[in-house]
A and B are shown apart, each in its own frame.
Chain A
Amino acid sequence: MEKMTQDQVRTIANMLRKRSLWMIHYCTGCGAMELPPTMTSRYDMSRLGLAPFVTSRQADILLITGYLNVKTLRRVITVYEQMLDPKYVIGFGSCALNGGVYWDSYAVIKQLDRYIPADLYIAGCMPRPEAIITAFQDLMDLIDSGKADGYKRYKRDLAYYKENQRKVLG
Chain B
Amino acid sequence: MMGIVDKIKEIDGTKVTVQRENRIFVDVEKERVIGTLYSMKLIGFSQLSVLSVIDRIADNQFEIFYVLYNRDEKVNATVRVWIDRDNPVIETAEKIYPSAHAWEREIAEMFGVKVEGNEEAGKPFILENWNDLPPMRKDFDSIKYSSEHFVFRHSEDKNE
Give residues in A with beta carbon < 8 Å to B. Answer: 70-71, 74, 97-99, 103-111, 114, 167-170
**Interface residue B58 (Cβ < 8 Å from any Cβ of A):** no
A71 touches B128 (CB 8 A): yes
Contacts of B42 in A (CB 8 A): none
Q: A105-B142, A106-B135, A106-B140 are in contact. Are A70 and B151 (CB under 8 A)?
A: no
Contacts of A114 in B (CB 8 A): 151
Contacts of B152 in A (CB 8 A): 98-99, 103, 110-111
A135 to chain B, nearest CB (A): 19
Q: A111-B153, A114-B151 are in contact. Are A74 and B128 (CB under 8 A)?
A: yes
B153 touches A168 (CB 8 A): no
B151 touches which of A104, A107, A110, A170 (Cβ 8 Å): A110
A166 to chain B, nearest CB (A): 11
A104 touches B150 (CB 8 A): no
Give residues in B with beta carbon < 8 Å to A. Answer: 126-129, 132, 135, 140, 142-143, 145-146, 149-153
State A60–B81 Cα separation when bound (angstroms).
54
Contacts of B132 in A (CB 8 A): 106
B153 touches which of A97, A106, A167 (Cβ 8 Å): A97
State A70–B127 Cα separation when bound (angstroms).
8
State A71–B109 Cα separation when bound (angstroms).
15
Q: A71-B126, A74-B128, A106-B135 are in contact. Are A168 and B142 (CB under 8 A)?
A: no
Interface centre among A97, A104, A108, A114 (most CB of B within 10 A): A104
Complex: chain A residue closest to B140, CB-CB: A106
State A99–B149 Cα separation when bound (angstroms).
13
State A101–B152 Cα separation when bound (angstroms).
13
State A106–B146 Cα separation when bound (angstroms).
5
Report 16 cross-chain contacts, Cβ distance below 8 Å, ordered by A residue: A70-B129, A71-B126, A71-B128, A98-B152, A98-B153, A104-B146, A106-B145, A107-B127, A107-B135, A108-B150, A110-B150, A110-B153, A111-B150, A111-B151, A169-B129, A170-B128
A164 to chain B, nearest CB (A): 8
Complex: chain B residue closest to A71, CB-CB: B128
Contacts of B151 in A (CB 8 A): 110-111, 114
B126 touches A104 (CB 8 A): no
Contacts of B127 in A (CB 8 A): 70-71, 107
Contacts of B150 in A (CB 8 A): 99, 108-111, 168
A109 to chain B, nearest CB (A): 5
Contacts of B140 in A (CB 8 A): 106
State A167–B129 Cα separation when bound (angstroms).
11
A95 to chain B, nearest CB (A): 12
B58 to chain A, nearest CB (A): 23
Contacts of B142 in A (CB 8 A): 104-106
State A58–B129 Cα separation when bound (angstroms).
32
B146 touches A170 (CB 8 A): no
State A107–B145 Cα separation when bound (angstroms).
9
Contacts of A105 in B (CB 8 A): 142, 146
